[in-house]
Structure 1
């Protein structure tokens, strides 16, 4: 997670309790985060007796951290506000907000039929990622909820962008990315569906059928289940050379991206 300063610079939140507090305040901006919520994030259900005092120390260090990193007019952004603390930051100064805004705008553009611009906006938003959400940061239950949300939104954004690029006739260039995606998310049938269709549409039917078998094997090994009926229909269509399949077929399996994806 990065904080963007007014002069275009940025600094990343690092792996300490102080940074854990600051990350939660930033991701919940402009809300006030209660003392109880911050304590729950830091220590779970078994906080130390000194939790409130220790939290105050982390807030003090967070303010010192910002005083070193930010120009003078931005140093006082960590505020004491009943019943806890908050930060006074413009929404577009936080990369998480910029990403979520890009996904919303990209989705709107695609719904209006502007695939080219939609791809551009989604790619810009996805370009803000530097690895897993809050990588290297200690994450408790509260931040963990935000991590799950952001990772799910990231997968959705990638799926939207790939579908839009396919609608623009970009097939061969998507193959390497899709192979990497099915390796990283082996239980996500939507990515597998995109890969199978892109391979088939590129004249690589044998590889498309092999990609389906790889999905079938991983589902059997990890979950003991078969691919969905939609995926099985896709496999039969590829097997029989059915060219009437719609490029929108992959959206039909988006409802089953297994929890371990």
Structure 2
């Protein structure tokens, strides 16, 4: 089974789509896909579908959605005459919940975590060309916002935020690698979009300032700082971090820092990353 959630939901068995069109059944599949090869408790599925006040028929209705998914899986399995698995093997009922078995298929968010991890390690080793390439490969798996076609509940929303934050962390580091490689002019159009999308993300603003200054656009770089400062003060009552303020002063003195140091401004741009089997994490505000 091949699973894609980094964009629209797509789940294929034997190369055949088993992604339903019915919203609730699609909702169930999305949550199972986000926890592929793991048991998802019935209580979690019910809360995801109906919140904290589910109807009395919730458990029975959930079983109906599972049956509908199994019918789609059965049709896909029937395409392969040598297939010995059944739909109940792939969407298994286990004590307390259900598990979607990928049987060694591809899962895009796991592949993203793997590729991003190699990129982070390349950054740590100061292999900036390798980091840019590997992080770019990781980001290429994204075709849009995670589960863009699924109206999720609390659990899916949390997972989507985690995935989006992981993407932002990889993007931030890929841009940092490109800056260290002297690709400041090539980054300008991308960063123009990003700082408008993430209006309080200090690292991205610092990278944009640096790219502008290195491109001979010092005045615009200083305006980026002023816009960010105004946004932070008006919306959060915070001043830019010390690191970003140092960058602004260095641009004023015509001696910009060669790299944007990691910044942290409580509530505005707190970033952290890990490279592990579980993926990567960043916390940032976007609007």
With the length of structure 1 as denominator, give the TM-score of the two structures: 0.89
* Range with bigger deviation, 170-179 or 60-69: 60-69
Distance 2:25 2:72 in 1: 9
**Does 2:181 match 1:174?**
no
Deviations 1:109-159 (A, max 9, x none): 222232222222211221121221111212111112211110110110000
**Does 2:129 match 1:122?**
no
Question: Which residue in the other structure is 1:110 paired with?
Answer: 123
Question: Which residue in the other structure is 2:275 paired with?
Answer: none
Question: Which residue in the other structure is 1:80 paired with?
Answer: 93
Deviation at 1:206, TM superposition (A): 1.0
Question: Which residue in the other structure is 1:34 paired with?
Answer: 41
* More helix as a share of residues: 1
**Change in 2 beyond 3 A, CA 1:160/1:24:** same
Distance 1:109 1:39 in 2: 42
* Range with bigger deviation, 230-239 or 72-81: 72-81
Unaligned runs of 5+ in 2: 271-283
Which structure has more relative contact order (CA 8 Å, sep 6+)? It is 2
Of 5, 25, 33, the match for 2:32: 25
**Change in 2 beyond 3 A, CA 1:62/1:161:** same
Question: Which residue in the other structure is 1:204 paired with?
Answer: 217
Distance 1:89 1:124 in 2: 23
**Change in 2 beyond 3 A, CA 1:210/1:22:** same
With the length of structure 2 as denominator, give the TM-score of the two structures: 0.81
Deviation at 1:7, TM superposition (A): 6.7
**Does 2:107 match 1:94?**
yes
Root-mean-square deviation (CA, aligned residues, Å) is 2.4
Distance 1:107 1:186 in 2: 25
Alignment of 1:179-190 (within 5 A): 179-190=192-203
Unaligned runs of 5+ in 1: none
